[in-house]
Amino acid sequence: MNALAATSRNFRQAARLLGLDSKLEKSLLIPFREIKVECTIPKDDGSLVSYIGFRVQHDNARGPMKGGIRYHPEVDPDEVNALAQLMTWKTAVAAVPYGGAKGGIGCSPGDLSNSELERLTRVFTQKIHDLIGTHIDVPAPDMGTNAQTMAWILDEYSKFHGHSPAVVTGKPIDLGGSLGRDAATGRGVVFATESLLAEYGKSIAGSTFVIQGFGNVGSWAASLLHERGGKIIALGDVSGSIKNATGIDIPALLEFKSSGGSVKDFAGADVMHSSELLLEECDVLLPCALGGVLNKENAPHVKAKFIVEAANHPTDPEADEILAKKGVVILPDIYANSGGVIVSYFEWVQNIQGFMWDEEKVNMELKKYMNQAFTNIKSMCKSHECNLRMGAFTLGVNRVARATMLRGWEA
């Protein structure tokens, strides 16, 4: 089942639990605006090439729309749509005053030079500049884009609208980016894990963890879990997977990786087959990489007690049902990986105020938001007698529905 079908299915289930009016339900699913633009740029060799850029703006009932821009050869309108919708519910669960959006350009960033990427980003910004803005739609980095991409968007947008640092988040620190943004998603995952384990009388110290994906989110989560006394017994990335029953030395692995080594060559652990990584016995499994990694084939063999979804949509709905029957507790992506958008909100607030925070304040506020959201999800689970995924979806959908009705959506 693709991301759009799964997200829509979760939404419909939540709408039923909440008893939403069918007209309102339909209205909440339809995106506010879909934008598709042609971006033609000269390549370094002088030839012209055209790319298609998208931006789906899903909902703005609770505030400006918010979501990443990805540069990827398979930027598919359906997927962008699903991710924009997911951002609407995610920002509502986290209680940040945003709606959802998502965008991208169908290109292979690895095949473009830095100056070609800059030209492409600037042309895309010229095409959509009057449809984004501090109080309209605030983009952020995603797959294939980074702080530099945001800097180009900021600069191009400011040529039309004057200096506007709050038009994008995930910027370089020197241009108004927030301290703590880099670690935010991984740190949020750790706060979420802490809240979940506490529910069951456990803590990170002394628990065992398996981490799939060792990019930004996976490496920050691993390092912060290790710091808190968690034992990471297996982890893997695209290069391969490793395990060590006594716990992998994460600081040593990070040092090895930053000096050019790959995970599978790390001396402090044994190589394992990547297909076995998700099936390794542990307390907590953290999928931090791609969507759809837990499916009906491997779900029956998962031995973890808890799954914290640090990636977007790592569990297929079929796998969801199998794991629920086995008694595995799943903390859903819509809450677990919302640390990134929460700190993006802090960055936007700092830019609007023109007053920057220190890192300690950023992390303290992030913890407050993550803990509060968990408490709110648990109370939805109680009142609707549902699992954590539906608790999070009912919380998010309910907030957006209430805002929509208060604004007078039928007029």
Within 58-208, residue ranges assigned H as helices are 77-94, 114-128, 147-161, 184-199
Q: What are phi and psi of 403, to 5 degrees?
A: -60, -40
* CB-based contacts of 227, cutoff 8 Å, min separation 6: none
10 Å CB burial of residue 107 (0-12, 13-18, 19+) is: buried
Question: Residue 36's beta-bridge partner residues?
Answer: 54
Tell me the C-alpha distance between 42 and 50, whole Å.
9
Residue 258, number of CB atoms within 10 A of its CB: 9
The residue type at 394: T
Tell me the C-alpha distance between 307 and 294, whole Å.
10
User: For strand 65-71 and strand 99-105, is the pairing parallel, antiparallel, or unpaired?
Assistant: parallel
Residue 76 · residue 2 · CB < 8 Å: no
Residue 69, number of CB atoms within 10 A of its CB: 31
- Catalytic site positions: 102
Tell me the C-alpha distance between 237 and 264, whole Å.
9
Residue 56 · residue 103 · CB < 8 Å: yes
Tell me the C-alpha distance between 30 and 4, whole Å.
12
How many alpha carbons lie under 13 Å from residue 201 in its C-beta half-sphere?
0
